[in-house]
Amino acid sequence: MLFWYYKNMHTVVVGGGFAGIKAALELSKHELGRVTLLSDRDYFLHHGSIYAVATGCPPDAAMVALDDIFAPHPNVKVINTRMTSIDPDRKLVVCGDHSYDYDKLVLALGSELDETQKSTHRHIFGVCGREQITAIHEHLQNSIINDHYVDRQYVIVGGGATGVELAGALAYYVRQLVEQHLAEKIKVRITLAESSERLLPRASHEASKYVTKRLQTLGVHVATNTRVTPHDDEFVTVDGRKIPTETVIWTTGTKAHSFYKSHPHYFDTTSKGSVIVNPYLEAYRNIYVLGDNVEGYGSNTIRSALDMGEYIADHLWRQETGKLYTPYRPSSASFAVSVGDDWSYVEALSVYTTGRLADWMRRRIVAASYRKIMSKSMVDAAMQAHKIKNPPE
Ligand SMILES: Cc1cc2nc3c(=O)[nH]c(=O)nc-3n(C[C@H](O)[C@H](O)[C@H](O)COP(=O)(O)OP(=O)(O)OC[C@H]3O[C@@H](n4cnc5c(N)ncnc54)[C@H](O)[C@@H]3O)c2cc1C
């Protein structure tokens, strides 16, 4: 009877990021019945590689089709749709007009970016998904390569990992495009604005110090304790000073996914919106929450998302087959950030490395995290794409 149940169990996983993909792949390996993966994107997005695609690498450096990832796993059905609500009493996931029944529901929705600023200024670019990242790339290409025009001021808002990586990559990329496509030498100013007193405010002081120094070496103007506000379509205000710009890249405002807070009957959330789960990552009867948004157990990193995905599949398998199971234990994650070509800062267990060696280590970390959810050939293709700039259309 037990065997029949678990072989016929239906698990619905929502979210095609690191946590959701890992959970679905592991459930498939455990042959734990049917698995349906619902994702509002038909591709997986590696947030940590957004800077590469924005500055000239092909999209494959950061995005991989979910269908390709799951091609060798026919017992996982991938559906491109957006979950709008849930009905746990009837065990249903609702996606607009459609609903999907489940025995177990795994939610891995990731974080959201606050997009309010973006809508107030024509030249503000976001970093949320394929369209936005491609828009940054096309904007740079169109102005410099096609129109032979370079914006004198580039403003990146937010000195977290994304802002830092974009500033470093942009410093190289814009200089390279200007040299190749413009006749005269033009001085371009790249400002990285952060409202806290240091860059990478959530990382160690060493990380802030070395990364700031490196950015300054690349000619990036690092403005800490600085707030940027959109002024009108032509200007932003950087600490009270009006700056004319057509390129503002807004990377701040990451917050917990609003879905949980908007379903208070089923989820206990903190004031910041992260979800309170039991030691087995269960938030409500038969509903589990993974990845970003998990209060207390997660570190909002790729490592944490992958660990949770792996844990939940093993946990469900153990639970359903009557085996002993243990609570989820978070492991410590490394921190790696790239700043311009061939230079990174990597920190693990309070030991840090910078420069080329760190860059090699960072690439290994990225490849290892990809490898947890992709075949070797797909990982090789994604890593190769990081080395290509401005591929022909
Ligand atoms: C810009 C940026 C850069 C980062 N850089 C790094 C880094 O260098 N190293 C690192 O360790 N971490 C980094 N992080 C954090 C890391 O990306 C996350 O911790 C990790 O991706 C979390 O995995 P996840 O599966 O929980 O969420 P995600 O990877 O965000 O995946 C969530 C998925 O759910 C989908 N989804 C959301 N809502 C719905 C819905 N209602 N219906 C259907 N699908 C839905 C989303 O479209 C997305 O595909 C970065 C994060 C950001 C935002």
Tell me: the pLDDT tens digits for 141-160? Answer: 888 777 777 777 889 999 99
The average pLDDT across 262-277 equals 95
User: Residue 340 corresponds to which tokens in the numbers above?
Assistant: 């311009």
User: Is residue 234 predicted with pLDDT exceeding 80?
Assistant: no
User: Is residue 117 predicted with pLDDT exceeding 90?
Assistant: no
User: Is residue 35 predicted with pLDDT exceeding 60?
Assistant: yes
- Which residue of 292, 308, 370, 372 sits with most ligand 1 atoms within 8 Å of its CB, as the best mutation to test the pocket? 292
Domains in the chain (CATH in brackets) are 2-40+81-111+256-320 (3.50.50.60), 115-253 (3.50.50.60)
Q: Which atom of ligand 1 is nearest to the CA of 309?
A: 25
Residues with CB under 6 A from ligand 1: 14-20, 38-41, 47-48, 50, 82-83, 108-111, 127, 161-162, 254, 259, 291-292, 300-302, 305
- Which residue's alpha carbon is at the smallest distance from atom 24 of ligand 1? 110
Determine the distance separating the centroid of ligand 1 and the alpha carbon of 111, expressed in angstroms. 6
pTM of the model: 0.91
Q: What percent of the chain has pLDDT over 90?
A: 62
User: Is residue 310 predicted with pLDDT exceeding 60?
Assistant: yes
- Which residue's alpha carbon is at the smallest distance from atom 31 of ligand 1? 17
Could you tell me how far CA 99 lies from the centroid of its own chain? 27
Determine the distance separating the centroid of ligand 1 and the alpha carbon of 321, expressed in angstroms. 31
Measured CA to CA, the distance from residue 322 to residue 318 in angstroms comes to 6
Confidence bin at 23 (pLDDT 50/70/90): very high
User: Is residue 276 predicted with pLDDT exceeding 90?
Assistant: yes
Q: Which atom of ligand 1 is nearest to the CA of 298?
A: 19
The average pLDDT across 198-202 equals 93
User: Is residue 329 predicted with pLDDT exceeding 90?
Assistant: yes
Determine the distance separating the centroid of ligand 1 and the alpha carbon of 18, expressed in angstroms. 7
Measured in degrees and rounded to the nearest 5, phi and psi for residue 92 equal -125, 140
User: Is residue 350 predicted with pLDDT exceeding 80?
Assistant: yes
Q: Order the strands of the 282-284 sheet from edge to edge.
A: 76-80, 34-39, 10-14, 104-107, 287-289, 282-284
pLDDT in tens, 371-385: 999 999 999 999 998
Confidence bin at 3 (pLDDT 50/70/90): low
The average pLDDT across 84-106 equals 97
CB atoms within 10 A of CB 90: 9
Specify the pLDDT at position 122: 66
Determine the distance separating the centroid of ligand 1 and the alpha carbon of 1, expressed in angstroms. 38
| CB contact at 8 A, 250 and 157 | yes
Contacts of 68 (CB under 8 A, 6+ apart): 378
User: Residue 182 corresponds to which tokens in the numbers above?
Assistant: 């413009």
67: amino acid identity, one letter: D
Determine the distance separating the centroid of ligand 1 and the alpha carbon of 44, expressed in angstroms. 9
* Closest alpha carbon to 284 in 308, 307, 306, 260: 260
Sign of the dihedral through C-alpha 107, 72, 26, 363 = negative
SS3 call for 259: helix
Specify the pLDDT at position 139: 87
- Which residue of 111, 114, 258 sits with most ligand 1 atoms within 8 Å of its CB, as the best mutation to test the pocket? 111
Determine the distance separating the centroid of ligand 1 and the alpha carbon of 262, expressed in angstroms. 19
Specify the pLDDT at position 13: 98
Lowest mean pLDDT segment, chosen from 33-37, 51-55, 136-140, 330-334: 330-334
Measured CA to CA, the distance from residue 261 to residue 103 in angstroms comes to 23
Determine the distance separating the centroid of ligand 1 and the alpha carbon of 114, expressed in angstroms. 14
Alpha-helical regions (H) of the chain? 2-8, 18-29, 50-54, 66-70, 130-141, 161-181, 205-217, 258-261, 302-320, 355-371, 376-385
User: Is residue 116 predicted with pLDDT exceeding 90?
Assistant: no
Angle between helices 302-320 and 355-371 (to 10 degrees): 30
| Mean pLDDT, all residues of the chain | 89
Q: Please write down the HEC assignment for all residues of 262-278.
A: CCCCCCCECCCCCECCC
